[in-house]
Structure 1
Amino acid sequence: MREPRSAIRPVPDRSGRPLDGRPMKLATFNPLAPQPKNHAGGDTFVVDPFVRLNRFLMLGSEGGTYYVAPQRLTLKNADNLREAIALDGWRVVREIVEVSESGRAPRQDLAIFALAVAACHGNEAVRAEALAAMPRVCRTATHLFAFLETVNAGRGWGRGLRRAVGDWYGKKDANAVEMQMVKYRRRHDWTHRDALRLSHASPPTPAHGELYGWAVGKGSGPVGGLVEAMAKLADETDGAKAAAIIRESRLPREGVPTALLRDPFVWEALLEEMPMTAMIRNLVTMT
C-alpha cells in the first residue's frame, strides 16, 4: 500500500532542493520562443490572431489598462480582425456567429461590427458568407441598423447586401416585422424607411406590403395590429382608455406616446407584458 506521505510533494527549502534530499527539476526557459515586449516592458507570448479575435468579440478593446491608451488597443484589434479575415475569413464568420448565438458576450455590438467588417473586407466568398449570417447575428432592428451603419461606410449597396436586408424583413412573419417596426423605429440614425428603400425590398405577402408601405410613408399600415393601436394612442389623453388599448393590442412601451408614460394606469398595463430587463431599465421612469 502506498504511504500517504509519499503522495505529498516535497517542499523545497531556500536553496531550491527538496527537504528529502532528492534533486528538484526546474522549468527550463527556451530563449528561441517568441516573447515580444509588451507596453509595460515585460516579456509576453505571441497571441494567435483567432485567440485575439475571440477576446475582442467578448471583451472589446480591453480598455482598462494602464500602459496603453484604449484608442491604440482599438486600432490594434481592428488590424487583427482584418488579418484574421485575410487568413481564414470563413473561420472568422463562424466564430462571430458562435459567440453571438451562445450568449458569451455581454453585448452584441462587437460581433455586429466584426461581421460588418467581414462583409466589407473579405473576399467574395467570405462577404457572401457574412451577409448570409447577418440575420443570425442581427436579431433585432437595432442590430440591423448598427450593421448597416458600419457596412454603409465600407462598401456600396450591391446585390448581395440588398438581398440580405430584404431577407431580414421578408423571412420574418408579418407580426414579427410589425413588432420590430414599432419597437425600434430609429437607431443609429437609421430608420426602416432607409433600410427598405436602399434594399429595394419586395414584400413576400400582402401583410408585409402594408407594413413596408407604412414604414416608407405610403400607407396607414395593417388594421387591427400594433400600428393601428399606436395611431389610436397618438390622440388619446385618458390613461384608463390608453391602458385598455395597450392590453388589447399588447403594444410595447416604445409605441406609447411620451405624455402617456406619466400615467400609472398605462404603466400597470405595460408591466403585464414587459420583460424583466426592460422593467429594470425603466425603474427610474416609473418612480
Structure 2
Amino acid sequence: MAEGGSLQPDDEIHDLRCQTERLSYCQVLNTSGGYVFTVTDMTRFLRFLILGTENGVYNHDEKELTRENVLSIDRLIINDRGVEVVQRIVEVSEAGRACKQNCTVYALAICARSNDPDTKRAAYDALSTVCKIPTDLFAFIEYCEQFSAGTGWGRAHRRAIAKWYNNFKDNVTTLAYKVTKFRRRHKWEHKDVVRLAHIHPTSEPLRLLIRYLVRGLGEAKKLQMPAAAKEMETWQKVYIYLEAVEKALHCKEESDIVELIQKHGLVREHVPTPLLMSVPVWKTLLKNMPMNATIRNLGKMGSLHMIEEGSEEEKIILDRLKSHTALKKSKIHPFKILVALKIYSKGKGEKGKLTWPRNKNIVEALEKAFYLCFDNVEPTNKKYCLAVDVSGSMDTAMMGIESMTARDGAAAMMMVTARTEPDYEVYAFCHKLDKLHIQKTDTLKNVCDRMSSLNFGATDCSLPILHALSDKKRFDVFIVYTDSETYFQGLHPSQLMQKYRIKTGIKDARMIVVGLTSTGFTIAEPEDKYMLDVVGFDTNAPQAMKSFIEGDF
C-alpha cells in the first residue's frame, strides 16, 4: 500500500482478486451467460408487485417467472414476514406504485390463502383498502378460487367479502355507482358473490342495493322504505339512481341517454353499445369523465373527430392532463400515461381496426403529464453518468403492451433524471458504448428514436465504468437502465466501481441499477452501501434515488 492510502499495481491486482473470490460465493449465472447477484426475496416481491410478470423477459418463460415470484412470497411468509408482506402490498396499492393493480391483488390473495393465521388475518383486514372497486374484488375472489381449487368460501373469506360491501353503509350511493359500473369481471358478478358471502346488510339503503343486485329492481322496490329520515333520504337517492341505470340499459335515443347522463352522472359503462357511436353522448360523458377513463378513451373520442384542435373537448382534455392536482388525485401510474402516449401517437389501436387523427397538442400534454406524475424531485447537483441499455433484449414488451418496450421505459426514466439534474452525460451501451447527446427539452419520441437507431448486441453493463476510467471522467453517480439481462467481460461492475473509487478518489461514488422488467437478478452488490437496486417503473423511484445519492440510506 502506498502513502496516502492509494494502491500500488500489485496491491490493486491482489485486492481485486480477493474481491473476485469473495463475490463468487454470492453470484449466480443468469440466462444471458453473465454472473449476477441474486436479489432478496423482499426485492423480488416488490418487483412482482410493481412490475408484474405478464410477458416474461428475454430468455425467460412467463410461467417460470410467476412461479418464482410466488415462491418468494411463500418464503417470506415461512420466515414470519407475512404481515410485513401485507403491509408492503397496502403501501404499494395506496401510493399507486404498481403498474397494474392485479399484481397487488394476486399477492394479497396468496397471503389470504396462506397457512399462517397472522398473515391470513392481515390480508383479509386489508381487502377493502387494496380492492377499492369491484373489479379488484372479483379478481381477488378468482385468485383465491384458483389457490383453493374452488373450496375457499370459509368463514374468514365470507366475513371479509361481506365487510367489503358493508363498509359502504354510510355511502351507499357510491357503492351503487361502483356495482352498476363494474357489474361482472373475471367470470364473477355481484349476485353470485352476495349469495356465497351470505351478506347481511347493515343499513336499509344497502339492503335495497343488495336486493337489486340479487333479484333486480322490481323486487327491490317491494322493500319497505325506512322510517328514519336520514336513511329514507339515502334510500330514495339510491332507488332513483338504480332506476336511471335501468332506463339507460334500454335506451335507444341519444337524447334520452344524454339527459340521463347529465341528470344522474352515468358513465360509459351505463351506455348501451349502439349509442357509443354518438358524438353528443361522448361529449356529455367527457365533461365529468375520470382521469383514467379520459386517457383510456382518447383513441375512441379521436376516431369520432370530436377532439380537433381548438375544440371545447380538446380544452377539457388539455386542462385535465396539465393539472398536477388532478393527476395526483387520480393516482394514475405514469406507465399508463406512457402507454396512452405511445398508442395515441400511432393513430391506431393495439387491436381491432380503430384509427384516429392525432392531435399534436394532446401528444405534448400526455408527455408533460408523465413528468407531472413524479412529485417535486429536487436536483442533487451531482455529476451523473446515465447509461441506457440498447441491447436486443430491450425490445421486450413491458407489462404485455406491444407498443411499450423496456427501451421506452428506460428512456422515460432516464429523462426524469435528465430533466432534473443540471450536470449529466448520457451513454447508450450494449456490446459497445456510444454517447447520446440528450437535451432536457428532447421529447421521449426523439430519445427513443435515437436509441432504436443504434446497433444492438449483448448487454455489457461494465462499459460505462470502463469508459469513465479510461477517459478519467469524474462522476458522482452512475445510473444504469436495463432490463436486467446482462453480462460483462472481465471484472464485475461492482469490482469496477471499487476500482473507480480508488482511481478517482471519489470514495462514495455510487451506482444505481434500474431494472425495467421483473426478474430475480441484479448486478448491484448487496454488501456495497454505495450500490442500489431500484424497482423499475415506480413513481417513488426518483425520490428514492435522490435520497440514496444524498446519503440518506
With normalisation by structure 2, the TM-score equals: 0.46
More deviation in 205-214 or 254-263? 254-263
The letter for the 2-side match of 1:151 is C
- The answer on 1:150 being equivalent to 2:147 is no
- Asked whether the 8 Å contact 2:217–2:242 carries over to 1, the reply is no
Q: Counterparts of 1:226-265 in structure 2 under 5 Å? A: 226-265=241-280
CA-to-aligned-CA distance 1:19-72 (integer Å, 9 cap, x gap)? xxxx86854415244222222332222321111111111112385533322222
CA-to-aligned-CA distance 1:141-194 (integer Å, 9 cap, x gap)? 000000000012223211111111111111112111101111100111110111
Tell me which protein shows more strand as a share of its residues.
2
- Asked whether the 8 Å contact 1:63–1:73 carries over to 2, the reply is no
- The answer on 1:43 being equivalent to 2:35 is yes
Q: Which one of the candidate residues 205, 208, 223 is aligned to 2:206? A: 208
- Asked whether the 8 Å contact 1:183–1:255 carries over to 2, the reply is yes
- Secondary structure of the 1:121 match is coil
Q: For the aligned residues, what is the CA RMSD?
A: 2.4
Unaligned runs of 5+ in 2: 1-5, 221-234, 305-553
- CA 1:117–1:270: 2 relative to 1, 3 Å: same
**Alignment-derived partner of residue 76 in structure 2:** 84
**Alignment-derived partner of residue 161 in structure 1:** 157
The letter for the 1-side match of 2:297 is N
**Alignment-derived partner of residue 311 in structure 2:** none
- Secondary structure of the 1:127 match is helix
**Alignment-derived partner of residue 20 in structure 1:** none
Q: Which one of the candidate residues 265, 271, 280 is aligned to 2:295? A: 280
**Alignment-derived partner of residue 266 in structure 1:** 281
User: Greater relative contact order (Cα 8 A, min sep 6): structure 1 or 2?
Assistant: 2
Aligned residues: 270
Cα distance in structure 1, aligned partners of 2:166 and 2:199: 8
- The answer on 1:127 being equivalent to 2:120 is yes
How far residue 283 of structure 1 moved from its aligned partner, in angstroms, is: 3.1
Tell me which protein shows more helix as a share of its residues.
1
Q: Which one of the candidate residues 56, 62, 67 is aligned to 1:75? A: 67
Cα distance in structure 1, aligned partners of 2:27 and 2:188: 45
**Alignment-derived partner of residue 175 in structure 2:** 177
Q: Which one of the candidate residues 97, 101, 116 is aligned to 2:94? A: 101
- Secondary structure of the 1:73 match is helix
The letter for the 2-side match of 1:249 is H
- Asked whether the 8 Å contact 1:182–1:226 carries over to 2, the reply is no
Cα distance in structure 1, aligned partners of 2:58 and 2:279: 48
- The answer on 1:58 being equivalent to 2:50 is yes
- Asked whether the 8 Å contact 1:62–1:73 carries over to 2, the reply is no
Cα distance in structure 2, aligned partners of 1:219 and 1:175: 15
**Alignment-derived partner of residue 317 in structure 2:** none
Cα distance in structure 2, aligned partners of 1:144 and 1:83: 25
Cα distance in structure 2, aligned partners of 1:64 and 1:75: 12
CA-to-aligned-CA distance 1:105-153 (integer Å, 9 cap, x gap)? 1111111000001100241221111000111111110000000000122
- CA 1:235–1:63: 2 relative to 1, 3 Å: closer
How far residue 218 of structure 1 moved from its aligned partner, in angstroms, is: 4.8
- CA 1:250–1:62: 2 relative to 1, 3 Å: closer
The letter for the 2-side match of 1:184 is F
- Secondary structure of the 2:159 match is helix
Unaligned runs of 5+ in 1: 1-9, 18-22
How far residue 197 of structure 1 moved from its aligned partner, in angstroms, is: 0.7
Cα distance in structure 2, aligned partners of 1:218 and 1:62: 37
- Asked whether the 8 Å contact 2:138–2:185 carries over to 1, the reply is yes
With normalisation by structure 1, the TM-score equals: 0.86
How far residue 78 of structure 1 moved from its aligned partner, in angstroms, is: 1.7
More deviation in 121-130 or 224-233? 224-233
Cα distance in structure 2, aligned partners of 1:67 and 1:259: 44
- Asked whether the 8 Å contact 2:249–2:270 carries over to 1, the reply is no
**Alignment-derived partner of residue 4 in structure 1:** none
**Alignment-derived partner of residue 111 in structure 1:** 104
Cα distance in structure 1, aligned partners of 2:145 and 2:196: 11
How far residue 250 of structure 1 moved from its aligned partner, in angstroms, is: 0.7
Cα distance in structure 1, aligned partners of 2:125 and 2:291: 32
